[in-house]
Amino acid sequence: MSIGVGIIGCGGMGSWHADNVAAQPGLRVVAVADPVASSAEQVAQRHGARTLDGLEVIAAPDVDAVLIASSDDTHAGFAVAAIEAGKWCFCEKPLGATLEQACEVLDAEVAAGVRRTRVGFMRELDPAHTQLAATLATLGPITRLRCVHRNVDAAPRDIDVVFAQSLIHDIHTIRWLSGQEFTRVTVYAVGRDDGFRDLLLVGELTDGSLGLIDFEDQAFAYEVQVEVTAAAGMAATLPHPRSLTRSGATESISVGTDWFARFEEAYRLEIEAWARDLAAQTIGGPSVWDGYAAQVVARAGEVAVLSGSPAEVVLADRPRLYAQQSTGGAR
């Protein structure tokens, strides 16, 4: 029996997700929604689906699971509706445009009493990151994690958008790999004449280790790396992708500039993992708690930037619904 999936949001991300859903045995795209009619129609025609509005997709009887890849400010409303309708849900990060919206999703799933939602932190399925995670158990206690995140051709963005759309990935990566929560963040921000900011976030974690994020917009290349220092050694991902060219006496190394090309495999693998969960009628991977916790840290980071002072990270008590899920889960 196939599982009917509804896609809410048919822009670049939603369109890619729809293609990956359709490629999974046992899943079929049955309904799509997007405020831009032409985007919805293109995805619908490609996959033999019908077009509806977002809430109609969730309510449709043949939609068993909902994938939310619409604009950030709509994530929470659709996720809450899916949870209340008893539908399985994949929600792109962030859970909401604000921390308050993320709390609404957390409250809704806790009230429902069952985990049905996976949050789109795709780095957990990226081969370079999973290989790194697999080595950490052999290295002993972690003392420091450092994420490097450089974007290309991004337009100047408000600080809340920088955290919600970019640094939130690095925040989750540190939580996932360390198995720890943030307790306090200090952010050093340097404004540039072109309107961009360079940021260095120093996070204190519950076990006394440090989580660092070195972030830059409008960089020379798209780059995401992680370096972990531990008691018995260190481990790191390497710059990816790279290619070497030799011509005559000249040698050059090219680096990637496309974030989607860098994580295309991870996006495919996270939908593949979601499909396995749907077939088993369970849910794994990044949870609503993970999405909420990352946004709490992001909010603290915003406060630290705007105030010029360290900011405390204050999480709600972890609900029992997520008690079986270790923080992050890599260790």
For residue 190, count other CB atoms closer than 10 A to its CB: 10
Higher pLDDT, 241 or 319: 319
Strand order in 223-230's β-sheet?
Answer: 233-236, 223-230, 142-150, 210-216, 197-205, 182-191, 311-312
Q: What is the CATH number of the domain that holds 61?
A: 3.40.50.720
Q: Is 218 contained in some domain?
A: yes
Is there a single domain that holds both residue 26 and residue 95? yes
User: pTM score > 0.95 for this model?
Assistant: no
Is there a single domain that holds both residue 171 and residue 304? yes
pLDDT digits (tens, 9 = 90+) for 130-168: 999 999 989 999 999 999 999 886 677 888 989 999 999
* Summary mean pLDDT of the chain: 92
Please check whether residue 94 is in contact with residue 76, taking contact to mean a CB–CB distance below 8 angstroms.
no
What's the pLDDT band for 244 if we cut at 50, 70, 90? low
- For residues 176-203, give the mean pLDDT: 88
pLDDT digits (tens, 9 = 90+) for 18-34: 999 999 999 999 999 99
Angle, CA 91 vertex, CA 85 and CA 96 arms, to 5°: 95
What's the pLDDT band for 191 if we cut at 50, 70, 90? confident
Is there a single domain that holds both residue 258 and residue 128? yes
Buried b (16+ CB within 10 A) or exposed e, 193-216: eeebbbbebebbbeeebbbbbbbb
What's the pLDDT band for 253 if we cut at 50, 70, 90? low
* 102: pLDDT strictly greater than 70: yes
Q: Is 320 contained in some domain?
A: no
* 330: pLDDT strictly greater than 60: no
SS3 assignment, position 297? helix
Q: Is 79 contained in some domain?
A: yes
Q: Is 112 contained in some domain?
A: yes
* 324: pLDDT strictly greater than 90: no
Question: Which of 71-85, 147-161, 281-295 has the lowest average pLDDT?
Answer: 147-161
Is there a single domain that holds both residue 163 and residue 269? no
Closest CA to 47 of 74, 78, 14, 89: 14
Is there a single domain that holds both residue 150 and residue 136? yes
Q: Which residues contact 55 (CB under 8 A, 6 or more apart)?
A: 78, 81
Q: What is the CATH number of the domain that holds 162?
A: 3.30.360.10
Is there a single domain that holds both residue 128 and residue 117? no
Is there a single domain that holds both residue 11 and residue 78? yes
Is there a single domain that holds both residue 134 and residue 250? yes
Angle, CA 270 vertex, CA 266 and CA 275 arms, to 5°: 145
Containing domain of residue 172, as a range?
124-262+294-312
Please check whether residue 10 is in contact with residue 70, taking contact to mean a CB–CB distance below 8 angstroms.
no
Is there a single domain that holds both residue 168 and residue 253? yes
* 326: pLDDT strictly greater than 60: no
How does strand 88-92 pair with strand 117-120?
parallel
Please check whether residue 22 is in contact with residue 29, taking contact to mean a CB–CB distance below 8 angstroms.
yes
- For residues 72-87, give the mean pLDDT: 98
The total number of structural domains in the chain stands at 2
Is there a single domain that holds both residue 67 and residue 101? yes
Q: Is 164 contained in some domain?
A: yes
Is there a single domain that holds both residue 251 and residue 115? no
Integer angstrom CA distances of residue 284 from 77, 176, 244: 22, 13, 39
What element of type H or E holds 257? Answer: none
CA 321 to chain centre: 21
Q: Is 220 contained in some domain?
A: yes
Is there a single domain that holds both residue 220 and residue 305? yes
- For residues 205-209, give the mean pLDDT: 98
H helical segments located in the chain: 12-22, 37-47, 54-59, 72-84, 99-112, 127-135, 159-162, 168-178, 259-280, 288-307
For residue 252, count other CB atoms closer than 10 A to its CB: 9
- For residues 86-96, give the mean pLDDT: 97
Q: Which residues contact 275 (CB under 8 A, 6 or more apart)?
A: 3, 21, 24, 25, 26, 27
pLDDT digits (tens, 9 = 90+) for 47-56: 999 999 999 9
Q: Is 318 contained in some domain?
A: no
What's the pLDDT band for 193 if we cut at 50, 70, 90? low
User: For position 79, what pLDDT does the model report?
Assistant: 98
